[in-house]
């Protein structure tokens, strides 16, 4: 199996075997959960982290990251490629806590742009921090929102001539959200690396509450029993991908998708993995 398939399967096994089962009051579903799950994968050495143990959507996370880089909260661009955010869209067609908007506008500062500028001038800087969570307004029973950020901060560093990312999440639905977020943020890491003219390095993913919903238990058991002799996937980004994303180049999504689809031969989907909101 690929390095990422092995890592992910082991996490699912650990949560199913060691997770504490409790009722989640907000959703009305039981979950098995563990705190403090962290893993790292070297994208350059181990390949791009795309799950092959079951078929998963790949156009959606590509379009999502291209949209995030634009810094938009209007969903018009995103909805040309995916309807996955439709449950969270406000009546005016926006996402109130859109990640890219928060990275580039919400706090009165273009965090992502400034971090890239800083690393261009000072590659050894340790200040490449991008925050999504708004402590003024998110959580604690405050202003009701259809979506409160789960990946709430990430850090980018250049070490040894490679761009590394540490992504930190307050909460992760491991059967659906996990593979999707890992794919998306690893893609973002590669696009930032391409923008800075360095190689992609280690992607680290840390989850404060890693959980599996009760209606996903059977799917998790099926995934634990699967194996796939799949070669590692290597991402080949088009030239100037980050800048093209900023320019809202719709062709970019299809080009990245074609590169990955040509290498992607997953096992069949696992049925019954309905989203819980």
pLDDT at 260 over 90: yes
pTM, two decimal places: 0.96
Domains, the chain, with CATH or none:
3-261 (3.30.572.10)
Question: pLDDT at position 275, please?
Answer: 80
pLDDT at 155 over 80: yes
- pLDDT band for position 90 (cuts 50, 70, 90): confident
pLDDT at 145 over 90: no
Question: pLDDT at position 83, please?
Answer: 86
At 1-50, the pLDDT tens digits run: 999 999 999 999 999 999 999 998 888 889 999 999 999 999 999 999 99
- pLDDT band for position 152 (cuts 50, 70, 90): very high
pLDDT at 241 over 80: yes
At 175-231, the pLDDT tens digits run: 999 999 999 999 999 999 999 999 999 999 999 999 999 999 999 999 999 999 999
In percent, how much of the chain has pLDDT > 90? 86
Question: pLDDT at position 273, please?
Answer: 84
Q: At what angle do helices 3-18 and 177-196 cross, to 10 degrees?
A: 140
* DSSP-derived pairing of the beta strands 172-173 and 199-213: parallel
Cross-strand pairs, 33: 20, 211
- pLDDT band for position 142 (cuts 50, 70, 90): confident
Catalytic position from the list 43, 89, 148, 150: 150
Q: Any catalytic annotation for residue 150?
A: yes
What is the token pair recorded at 43?
């994208």
Residue 126 has, within 13 A of its CA and on its CB side, a CA count of 0
């Amino acid at each position: 199996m690929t390095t990422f398939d092995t890592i992910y399967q082991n996490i699912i096994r650990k949560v199913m075997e060691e997770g504490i089962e409790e009722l989640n009051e907000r959703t009305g579903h039981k979950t098995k959960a563990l705190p403090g799950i962290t893993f790292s994968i070297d994208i350059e050495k181990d390949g791009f982290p795309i799950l092959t143990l079951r078929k998963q959507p790949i156009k959606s996370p590509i379009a999502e990251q291209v949209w995030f880089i634009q810094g938009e909260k209007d969903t018009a661009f995103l909805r040309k490629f995916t309807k996955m955010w439709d449950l969270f869209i406000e009546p005016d067609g926006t996402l109130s806590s859109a990640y890219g908007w928060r990275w580039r506008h919400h706090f009165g500062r273009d965090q992502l742009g400034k971090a890239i500028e800083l690393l261009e001038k000072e590659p050894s800087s340790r200040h490449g921090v991008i925050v999504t969570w708004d402590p003024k307004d998110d959580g604690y029973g405050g202003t009701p929102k259809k979506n409160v950020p789960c990946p709430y901060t990430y850090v980018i560093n250049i070490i040894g001539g490679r761009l590394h990312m540490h992504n930190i999440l307050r909460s992760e639905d491991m059967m659906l959200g996990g593979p999707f977020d890992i794919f998306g943020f690893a893609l973002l890491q590669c696009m930032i690396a391409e923008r800075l003219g360095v190689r992609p390095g280690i992607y680290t993913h840390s989850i404060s509450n890693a959980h599996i919903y009760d209606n996903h238990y059977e799917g998790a058991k099926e995934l634990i029993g699967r194996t796939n002799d799949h070669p590692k996937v290597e991402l080949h980004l088009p030239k100037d991908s980050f800048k093209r994303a900023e320019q809202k180049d719709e062709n970019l999504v299809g080009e990245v998708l074609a590169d990955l689809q040509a290498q992607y031969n997953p096992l069949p989907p696992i049925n019954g993995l309905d989203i819980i909101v």
